[in-house]
Chains A and B, each alone.
Chain A
Amino acid sequence: MELLLQTLLNGMLSAGVYALVASGLALAVGVVGIVNFAHGEFLMIGAFISYLLFASRGIDPLVSLGVAAVAVFLIGAITYYGLIRPVLSAPELNQMLLTFGLSVLLQNLALLLFGADTRVVSPPYQGSTLSLGGLSFGGVPLAAFVLSVLILLGLYWFLGRTRLGLAVRAVAQNRLAPGLLGIETQRVYLLAFGLSAALAGVAGVMLSVMLYASPTVGFAFTLKAFAIVVMAGLGNLRGVLWAALILALAEALVSTYVPGGGGWVEAVFFLVIFGTLTWRSWRRA
């Protein structure tokens, strides 16, 4: 029983970061209409920013969160302006090839600059644990979960309660009308893509402590984020929370209860994608 509770708890804690990464992807897909295969590379950049600041200046990852948010937002905005905007009206296949190419490019650039080693940011509190009623929490995963929830609440507040958020939702829901109503759609795209990248960047900082920074760290998260976004329904932000929770719990259960489960964890995401898509097409038929 305790093992089950502990497993569910671990799953829930990782759901926070998954939701953060996937919400970013949902913004790119839902608002800008771009299937961004380089999403995980924004995460990787965030992780390296955290590592570099920590290794060179001893800067705490909590501080790096803010630095990475701003820096990766700008990188996302520049990416939008330079690469995405010119292909907005191109066929989807071309857009996907472009973002896929960007992903490969950024991974190799990181490989060139930093080598293939995994690098961990280890602040003094990295190994801290709290126990409560027989369950133990890693201090860092707990903090990452809480921060993720706070950032997502901030995102929902922005989208639901602010003037600019209204414009973002408008652009997500209709392509034709916003411009005619006076919304500068190009600016909204720029903002949404920047935010999308920033959410991944912030998640990258958290993962630099929980996991590691490496040139390929983002790839698995791109796939996981896609699984979550597909399960939630393309562009459905609220669904992302549930999908992230379900997937993270499934992952935790598999890794605990399936013999040799660690190796099967990655498969869980794809089983869920297949399951969701198949179920949807049956229901529709």
Chain B
Amino acid sequence: MLRLRGVSKTFGGLRAVQGVSLEVQPGEILAVIGPNGAGKSTLLNLISGLLSADSGRIEFLGQDLTHAAPEVRAWRGLGRAFQIVQPFPEMSVRENLMVGALYGTPGTSVQAARKVVERVLELSGLAGKAQHPAGELSLLEDKRLELARALATQPKLLLLDEVMAGLRPAEAQDAVRLVRSIRDSGVSVLFIEHLMPVVRALADRVVVLDYGQVIAEGRYAEVAENPKVREAYLGRGA
């Protein structure tokens, strides 16, 4: 459903992403991993439209979105959650979700949006905090809200940027279950993650980036055995 062909992005002299091609199939959970500075976040920004690619092509559901504005990509069905949460701090949790539900899909009525919000509140375990100001949540609740708000836009593909970072192992397990249930409801997932246990538990397929290039691709077990990947993670000459 998502297809990248030779996508590149350069900052000054730094080639952050070089000729990346990858695909996400419907119903799939794809992990993008790689050492720090490998270009993972840049890649996610190129897909969600916060950055515009210098060259290459980004297609989603058969449409060319290479240079589309972020809101257009959101309308087509791309949802995004950040590692550093981006709430609307002076709104309640429910209002935060309402923004996603009302604007994520053009033509959504207020009534329909309210229904989506209630469903997402239940799914994300935030129902008890619905009236709470978003600026006064715990870290775990912050993360849930970030994910829930992306879900409220009713995405077809969810882009997750290290959403598990900073969670305790038990909390991360809950989050893994939540992401699985999201997939089971028919949403594909592309996620960036540093925690290898999470990658192993969640990913159907793994793409490894190093210095902005794809160096390996396949199932977790295959990729983990790949000498190039081991080198990238452990350091050259190790």
Task: Please tell me if the beta carbons of A178 and B99 are within 8 angstroms of each other in the complex.
Answer: yes
By CB atoms of chain B within 10 A, which of A167, A169, A179, A185 has the most?
A179
On whether A174 and B75 interact (CB within 8 A), knowing A179-B69, A181-B149, the answer reads no
Say if the beta carbon of B39 comes within 8 Å of chain A. Answer: no
**A residues within 8 A CB of B48?**
180
Say if the beta carbon of B89 comes within 8 Å of chain A. Answer: yes
Task: Please tell me if the beta carbons of B91 and A163 are within 8 angstroms of each other in the complex.
Answer: no
Binary flags per residue of B35-54, CB closer than 8 Å to A gives 1, else 0 = 00000000000001110000
Binary flags per residue of A71-97, CB closer than 8 Å to B gives 1, else 0 = 000000000000000000000000000
Say if the beta carbon of B66 comes within 8 Å of chain A. Answer: no
Task: Please tell me if the beta carbons of A185 and B88 are within 8 angstroms of each other in the complex.
Answer: no
Say if the beta carbon of B80 comes within 8 Å of chain A. Answer: yes
Task: Please tell me if the beta carbons of A182 and B87 are within 8 angstroms of each other in the complex.
Answer: no
Say if the beta carbon of A55 comes within 8 Å of chain B. Answer: no
Task: Please tell me if the beta carbons of A181 and B74 are within 8 angstroms of each other in the complex.
Answer: yes
Task: Please tell me if the beta carbons of B70 and A179 are within 8 angstroms of each other in the complex.
Answer: yes
Task: Please tell me if the beta carbons of B70 and A180 are within 8 angstroms of each other in the complex.
Answer: yes
Task: Please tell me if the beta carbons of B88 and A182 are within 8 angstroms of each other in the complex.
Answer: no
In the complex, residue of chain B having the shortest beta-carbon distance to the beta carbon of A177: B86
Task: Please tell me if the beta carbons of A179 and B71 are within 8 angstroms of each other in the complex.
Answer: yes
Task: Please tell me if the beta carbons of A181 and B95 are within 8 angstroms of each other in the complex.
Answer: no
Stretch in B6-14, B104-112, B178-186, B193-201 touching the partner: B104-112
**B residues within 8 A CB of A272?**
none
Task: Please tell me if the beta carbons of B100 and A181 are within 8 angstroms of each other in the complex.
Answer: yes
Say if the beta carbon of A170 comes within 8 Å of chain B. Answer: yes
Say if the beta carbon of A184 comes within 8 Å of chain B. Answer: yes
On whether A182 and B86 interact (CB within 8 A), knowing A170-B99, A173-B91, the answer reads no
Say if the beta carbon of B211 comes within 8 Å of chain A. Answer: no
Say if the beta carbon of A102 comes within 8 Å of chain B. Answer: no
Say if the beta carbon of A176 comes within 8 Å of chain B. Answer: yes
Interface size on B, residues (CB 8 A): 31
Q: Is the interface of A mostly helix, strand, loop or mixed?
A: helix
On whether A169 and B71 interact (CB within 8 A), knowing A181-B103, A182-B103, the answer reads no
Task: Please tell me if the beta carbons of A182 and B105 are within 8 angstroms of each other in the complex.
Answer: yes
**A residues within 8 A CB of B74?**
179-182
On whether A173 and B104 interact (CB within 8 A), knowing A179-B49, A179-B69, A181-B153, the answer reads no
Which residues of A from 149 to 188 have beta carbons under 8 Å from B? 163, 166-167, 169-170, 173-174, 176-185
On whether A180 and B50 interact (CB within 8 A), knowing A169-B91, A173-B90, the answer reads yes
Q: How far is the CA of A70 from the CA of B59 in the complex (A)?
A: 42
Task: Please tell me if the beta carbons of B70 and A169 are within 8 angstroms of each other in the complex.
Answer: no
Task: Please tell me if the beta carbons of A182 and B106 are within 8 angstroms of each other in the complex.
Answer: yes
**B residues within 8 A CB of A167?**
99, 103
Expressed in whole angstroms, the minimum distance between the Cβ of B154 and any Cβ of chain A is: 10
**B residues within 8 A CB of A182?**
71, 74-75, 100, 103-106, 153
**B residues within 8 A CB of A184?**
69, 71
**A residues within 8 A CB of B220?**
none
Q: How far is the CA of A195 from the CA of B58 in the complex (A)?
A: 37
In the complex, residue of chain B having the shortest beta-carbon distance to the beta carbon of A181: B100
In the complex, residue of chain B having the shortest beta-carbon distance to the beta carbon of A173: B88
Expressed in whole angstroms, the minimum distance between the Cβ of B187 and any Cβ of chain A is: 16
Say if the beta carbon of B102 comes within 8 Å of chain A. Answer: yes
On whether A163 and B88 interact (CB within 8 A), knowing A179-B49, A180-B74, the answer reads no
Task: Please tell me if the beta carbons of B102 and A180 are within 8 angstroms of each other in the complex.
Answer: no
Expressed in whole angstroms, the minimum distance between the Cβ of A160 and any Cβ of chain B is: 10
**B residues within 8 A CB of A177?**
82, 86-88, 149
Task: Please tell me if the beta carbons of A174 and B88 are within 8 angstroms of each other in the complex.
Answer: yes
Expressed in whole angstroms, the minimum distance between the Cβ of A264 and any Cβ of chain B is: 37
Contact of B86 among A163, A166, A169, A174 (CB under 8 A): A174
Say if the beta carbon of B98 comes within 8 Å of chain A. Answer: yes
In the complex, residue of chain B having the shortest beta-carbon distance to the beta carbon of A187: B71
In the complex, residue of chain A having the shortest beta-carbon distance to the beta carbon of B100: A181
Expressed in whole angstroms, the minimum distance between the Cβ of A170 and any Cβ of chain B is: 5
On whether A181 and B99 interact (CB within 8 A), knowing A173-B88, A174-B86, A174-B88, the answer reads yes
Closest 4 pairs (CB-CB, A-B): A179-B70, A182-B103, A182-B74, A173-B88
A-B contact pairs, 8 of them (CB 8 A): A173-B90, A174-B86, A177-B86, A177-B149, A179-B70, A180-B50, A181-B149, A181-B153
**What is the interface of chain A, defined by CB distance below 8 A to chain B?**
163, 166-167, 169-170, 173-174, 176-185
Known A179-B50, A180-B50, A181-B149; 8 more pairs at CB < 8 Å: A174-B89, A176-B50, A178-B99, A179-B70, A180-B48, A180-B49, A182-B74, A184-B69
